[in-house]
Amino acid sequence: MRTQPTTSMRSFARFILAFAFVAASSAFGQAIVLKDGNRVFSSEFSIQPDGKIVRTVQIGENKATSVLDKKNIESLEWPYPAELTESADLLAKGKTDEAIAVLKKGKDFFEHFEGIEGNWYVDIYFAYIEALNQGGKFDDVVKSLPALRALKLSDAQKMRLRIIQLDIERQTSTDYMGVIVEAQGILKETDDSAICASLWAIIADVHTRKKEWEKALLAYLRIPVFYGTQMQRVPEAELNAAKTLVKMKRYEDANAFFARIIESYPGSTVADAATKEKAAIAGMKNVDEEAAAEGDAKPKEGEPAKTTETKPKA
Structural contact between residues 166 and 183, judged by C-beta atoms closer than 8 angstroms: yes
At residue 18, the pLDDT reads 42
Q: Is the pLDDT of residue 20 over 60?
A: no
Q: Is the pLDDT of residue 72 over 80?
A: yes
At residue 76, the pLDDT reads 95
Structural contact between residues 76 and 116, judged by C-beta atoms closer than 8 angstroms: yes
Q: Is the pLDDT of residue 290 over 60?
A: no
At residue 48, the pLDDT reads 92
| Rg, C-alpha atoms of the chain | 29
The model's confidence at residue 288, banded by pLDDT at 50, 70 and 90, is: confident
Distance of CA 255 to the CA centre of its chain: 26
Distance of CA 121 to the CA centre of its chain: 17
Lowest mean pLDDT of 43-47, 95-99, 132-136, 300-304, name the range.
300-304
Q: Is the pLDDT of residue 314 over 70?
A: no
Backbone angles phi, psi at 45, to 5 degrees: -140, 160
- Residue 117, beta-bridge partner list: 75
Angle (nearest 5°) at CA 17 between 11 and 20: 140
For residue 50, count CB atoms less than 10 angstroms from its CB and return exposed for 0-12, middle for 13-18, buried for 19 or more: exposed
Q: Is the pLDDT of residue 82 over 70?
A: yes
Q: Is the pLDDT of residue 251 over 90?
A: yes
Lowest mean pLDDT of 95-99, 207-211, 289-293, name the range.
289-293
Listed residue (94, 118, 157) closest to 31, CA to CA = 118
At residue 67, the pLDDT reads 93
More confident residue, 187 or 293: 187
What percent of the chain lies above the pLDDT cut of 90?
A: 68
DSSP state of 117: B
Buried b (16+ CB within 10 A) or exposed e, 129-145: bbbbbbbebeeebeebe
At residue 19, the pLDDT reads 39
Q: Is the pLDDT of residue 21 over 90?
A: no
At residue 257, the pLDDT reads 96
- Residue 58, beta-bridge partner list: 63
Amino acid type, 236? E
Q: Is the pLDDT of residue 258 over 90?
A: yes
Q: Is the pLDDT of residue 6 over 80?
A: no
- Residue 224, beta-bridge partner list: none
The continuous run of DSSP H or E covering 303 comes out as none
At residue 292, the pLDDT reads 52
> What is the rounded CA–CA span in Å between residue 104 and residue 98?
10
Long-range CB pairs of 198-203, under 8 A, 24+ apart, other chains included: 198/160, 198/163, 198/167, 198/233, 199/163, 199/166, 200/227, 200/237, 201/233, 201/236, 201/237, 202/163, 202/166, 202/167, 202/170
At residue 62, the pLDDT reads 85
> What is the rounded CA–CA span in Å between residue 209 and residue 163?
18
The model's confidence at residue 77, banded by pLDDT at 50, 70 and 90, is: very high
Mean pLDDT of the chain: 85
pLDDT digits (tens, 9 = 90+) for 143-187: 999 999 999 999 989 999 999 999 999 888 889 999 999 999 999
| CB neighbourhood size of 227 (10 A) | 22
